[in-house]
Structure formats: C-alpha cells, structure tokens
Structure 1
Amino acid sequence: MAQIALKIDVDTLRGTREGVPTLVRLLENAKARATFLFSLGPDHTGWALRRALRPGFLKKVARTSVLEHYGLKTLLYGVLLPGPDIGCRAATEMRAVRDAGFECGIHTWDHVRWQDNVRQRGRDWTLAQMQKSYTRFLEIFGAAPTTHGAAGWQMNDYAFAQLDAWQMAYASDGRGHGPYRPTLDGQPLAQVQLPTTLPTFDERLGVNGADASEVVRQLLALTEPDQTNHATAHVFTLHAELEGQKLAPFFAELLAGWRAQGHALVALADYYATLKLDDLPLYPISWGEIPGRAGELILQP
C-alpha cells in the first residue's frame, strides 16, 4: 500500500469560495486528508491571456475548456475587471478549511504575477512577494504556515532559500519522482521537497480525446499496486477550480478508486512524517518540461 498525498492548489477567488467547500465535503466523505495551498492576494487570472503566444498554451486552453472551468468573470480579472483581493474576501472560507482539520499552506500572493515572473526576478522582488503572502497567512490563520507549494511549479534560488529562512521543514514546489533535499551552489538546504509525482487532471484531459472518465482510469492505472515500482508514496496535485467544480464527480470517483486500491490518502504533513530524513538524496534545482503542460517548471533530475 502506498500513501497518496493530496495537494490542492487554490488559484482564484471563485476557486476559494466555490471549489474549496466542495473539496472539503468530498474529502470528508472519503475520509481523506489533504493539504490546501492558498493564493492570498489579488486575483489577476486575466493576465494569463498574455501567455497566448507561448508554445503549447493555446493547445492546452482548447483541451481543458478554461472558460468553462474558470468562468468569464474570473478570466476578466486584471483585464476588464479589477483583481479582487482573495485573502480579504475569502478569509472565512480559508479558516473553515483549517477548522475542518485540513493542513493549510501558502500557494502564492499573486498567482499569475508569480508564475510568469519569478524565474527571471531578483532577490528583492522575490522576497517582497513571499513576505506579502506570509503576512497575510498570519493575519488569516493566526499562525505561521507549515508548508508551501509554488504557483505553476515556478521558483528561483531566492525563493528556495527563503523557505529555509521561514524554517519550513517540507514543501512541494516542483515535479519529480520522490522526496529529496535541494541544493544551492552545491550546498544542501534544510527543507525537504515533496514533488508532485503523478500527472495532473488537466495534463491528461483531452489528450488523444481522453474525457474525464478516461483520465480517472489513466490515473488509477498509474497507482495500481503492481505499477508503483516500489514507491511508498505519490503526490497528486489538484485544483480547486477544476476538481472542486465541474470535475468534482470525477475526483470523487478517483478518491473511491484509490481507496479500493488500498492507498492511504494523506496530507503533505503526514507524508513528511514517514520519511527517513537521513536517507534522502540531494538534487540541484533543475528545470524541465512535463507532457501536457506548456513551458518549463521545477523538475527533479
């Protein structure tokens, strides 16, 4: 039996208000634990339209029906409508997640601004964005965050170093095949990275005509006990805007399938607690591409 750590990225105001409560109900019904990672500042989802010229972006938009999942109003935030402050307008919904017993952490301050800029930005810009999210998290929850999961799996060296400065024991900021300690300039950081190991729903949806039911079948095939290659855990990233809304019935089916396979559905904290920290490998911070997703992201070698 493997653990499957469920990591929930919450990108938008709509996802926080509508998708998150739905996911809490689905998880409680499945007796599953999970980690919710919140976007805590302005919702500028409409700025993502600037990615239209990037290779593969328009193809992904067409496959995953972005308008259908996110809604027209959300796609206009930052373009024709002002970007609402998610942390101010949805703090009640965020605290309800904590009160239901789920782990909460930082996703980002401004999702699109971070995802589109952090790789090229310097220390001052990076730390200013991170400090805004940290301060807002404290205001909402009254306690320091225990974990972090980067928007779009985008980071830079200063961001990784700041996680150590915050004394975060673990985070999930990239993609990969298993837990590890990242290195900067050849020196290991204190944090443990728990990379996303399974493909996301939107990376498979529409590929070769795959509908939502087919994606569920594909994901369950990857976690069959004889297909795990002796892995003791997986990390699956889902989105409040997708699995918490239109894809909710299919996520419920996926949860039931994982339960039937005998897997424990856990939070990042639970996964981290099982690790033998002295045995973890070291890897430099690296970039690469993932099938079904446009552009490069943090990728474990």
Structure 2
Amino acid sequence: MASIVLKIDVDTYRGTREGVPNLVRMLKKHQAQATFLFSLGPDHTGWALRRAFRPGFFQKVSRTSVVEHYGFKTLMYGVLLPAPDIGKTCASQMRAVQDAGFECGIHTWDHVVWQDNVKNRGAEWTVAQMQQSFSRFQQIFGQAPKTHGAAGWQMNEHAFTQLDNFHFAYASDGRAMLKDNGELANPDAGPYRLTTGSGSKALSCLQMPTTLPTLDELLGRTIDGVVIDTSNIATAILKLTSTQKNHVFTLHAELEGQKLAPIFEELLAGWTKQGYSCISMADYYQMIKDHELPVRPLTWGDVPGRSGELITLAA
C-alpha cells in the first residue's frame, strides 16, 4: 500500500488556535496520521507585506484571498498590532495535538523573519534562530523535537548542518520539482540525503521533499484548459495521485484547517478510496530508514504557483 505523508505547517497564532484543533478532529474522523510543525515564536505575519515587491507576489495574492484565509487581524501583527508570542500563548493547544496521538515538530521560530532572511544569512544568525525554536519546543512538550520542516521551504547550508547537530534523523525542508500541471518533473523524486557543497559528505538527516502542489499553488490557475477553484481542486490533486506512489503533501493550518477544510476532507476520503494510507513523517521514516537513498546537492528552483525560489530536489 502506498502512503500520503501529511505534513502540516502551522504558520500563525490564529492557525494554531483555530486551524489546528479543526485538523485534529478531521484526521481522527478519517483515522489518518500527520505531522504538525509549529511556529514557536512571535507572529509577525504583517511584515510579509514587504513581499509585495517580489516578482509573482501580486499574482499569487490575487488567486488566493489572503485576507479571507488569514484574517485582517493576522495581517496587522507586527504592523499595527503587537505580534503575539505563539509558543507562550498557545502551548496548551500544541500539547493537545501530541496528547491526541500526533507527531509534533519544529516549523520555525519567527516565520516571516526566517522565510525572508535565511537564504543569505550566516551560521551565527541561523543557529541562534534554530536554537530558540528548539528550546521553546522542549519547554512546551517536555522533550526534544525529532523533526523539522522549513518555513517557506527556505534554508541554507548552516541550517541543514544544524539539523545534524540536533540529531534529527529526518526532516522535510524542500520540494520536488513540478511541471505546470502539478505532475512531478522527475517521477522518481523521493527521499534523499543532502550534500551542501562540493566534496562535502552527505548529511545524516534524510530529507522527505514535498511532492504534490499545495492548495494555494493551484487555486485560481488554469491547468489543461480548466480554471482550478474550490469546486474541482480536490479532483485535480486526486488525479495526481491516481497512480500509486508514496507522496508528501504539505497543508496549512490556516487553509485546510479553516476555510478550505471541506476540500481537505474530500482529499482524505479520496485517498482512502484510492488505497492510500495517510501517515506521519515518523511513520514514513520507519518505512525508508534502511533504504539506500540517493545523495543530492543543495539546489534552489521555482515551483509553479509560488513566488520566489525554494529549496528543491533537482529534476
């Protein structure tokens, strides 16, 4: 039986308080597993407005209603409203996820700060950011985290090295390259070990790249002559999984946990009908840990429907 690894990025204060409990209920209803990756520091979502100057940003915003999905108040955090400290104010919601039987890990300390800066930062800054989230996770859960999924699929070589220093066995920090229609550019894309430079040895922490497009990358786009909207997006994704293959699907507490929850339920039912099991990153690691995995270089690339370059698995 093939598997869909469900990786849930929790970006915001609102997503943690409202979206996460909704997702827990849906997952338990469908007897599905998943990994929740938490933002553990301040919610500076309002600072993301600076991305308006990036190529492709307005196109993405026009396709996916940011205000509708994230809420006006969230978009003011760090601008006109103080940034709430997610880890301090939402610790009970996070622990409830673990108590419900789901794997929890690190997404980031400050989502906007990490996503907008890490690519060009040095070791000192990078390690300090990661150590803050590591320490906060320990405070909340009473144990060390075991996995990581980078905010915005943004990393640098120092961050990957730090994953090894934290003794993480597995993480999901990058993307497989996709065609415009959402299909894998390389049908063999899957888990790999990373090397960060010429002559450097492969890192111990294996990578599980996201292999399916996200909902916000598909909504509003025209694919094969069809405009993708909320009425047909689940069908479009299920078409990509019609041939069984292990996949990693990234969803967001702010989207699938709220306005787009009916679409996620449709996907869960559809994947069950297709014969998939929905599992956590920890489950997937147990399946692949003894496999001889390919070694890939650190690369950046574009993913259709998303602005800016991301960590990618070269096609």
Match of 1:126 in 2: 126
Match of 2:57 in 1: 57
Match of 2:179 in 1: none
Could you tell me which of 258, 263, 267 is aligned with 1:245? 258
- Are 2:139 and 1:173 aligned? no
The DSSP-based 3-state class of the residue aligned with 2:313 is coil
The DSSP-based 3-state class of the residue aligned with 1:134 is helix
Equivalent residues in 2 for 1:1-301, closer than 5 Å: 1-176=1-176, 177-185=189-197, 186-208=200-222, 209-225=227-243, 228=244, 231=245, 233-275=246-288, 277-301=290-314
Q: CA deviation at 1:77?
A: 0.3
Q: Distance in 2 between matches of 1:198 and 1:298?
A: 15
Q: CA deviation at 1:184?
A: 2.3
- String of CA shifts for 1:178-217, please: whole Å, max 9, x gaps: 0000012231000110000000011001112311221101
Q: Distance in 1 between matches of 2:218 and 2:310?
A: 17
Q: CA deviation at 1:278?
A: 4.4
Q: CA deviation at 1:277?
A: 3.4
The list of structure 1 runs, each at least 4 consecutive aligned residues, that deviate by more than 4 angstroms after superposition, is: none
Q: Distance in 2 between matches of 1:276 and 1:157?
A: 23
Percent identical across equivalent pairs?
66
Unaligned runs of 5+ in 1: none
Q: CA deviation at 1:74?
A: 0.1
Q: Distance in 2 between matches of 1:126 and 1:202?
A: 28
Root mean square deviation of aligned Cα: 0.8
Q: Distance in 2 between matches of 1:213 and 1:104?
A: 31
Count of residue pairs the alignment pairs up: 296
- String of CA shifts for 1:17-73, please: whole Å, max 9, x gaps: 000000000000000000000000000000000000111111101111000000000
Q: Distance in 1 between matches of 2:89 and 2:73?
A: 16
- Higher helix fraction: Structure 1 or Structure 2? 1
The DSSP-based 3-state class of the residue aligned with 2:101 is coil
2:209 maps to amino acid: P
The DSSP-based 3-state class of the residue aligned with 1:279 is coil
